[in-house]
Amino acid sequence: MHRDGDEVHLSECEASGGEQHHHLRYILGISLALALVAMSLAWIIPALIEG
């Protein structure tokens, strides 16, 4: 970290807290897919029952 006048400059490691969790992208992707499936079923099942 260094200061340049009133600005503070951090490295990428300092700004992120030193840890990057790469498995989070998989969790977010799986969660998105599950939400899509649940929302689709909530729309498709009532349409099949009525139709």
Average pLDDT, 10 consecutive residues per value, the chain (51 residues): 80 72 89 98 94 70
Q: Which pLDDT score is estimated for 18?
A: 63
Contact 1, 8 (CB under 8 A): yes
Residue 27 is predicted with a pLDDT of 93
> For 1-51, where are the E strands, in sequence order?
2-4, 7-9
Instruction: Answer whether 0.75 is exceeded by the pTM.
Output: no
- Give the angle subtended at the CA of 29 by the CAs of 45 and 43, to the nearest 5°: 15
The per-residue pLDDT for 50 is 87
Residue 35 has what pLDDT? 98
Using alpha carbons, select from 22, 25, 43 the residue that is nearest to residue 33: 25
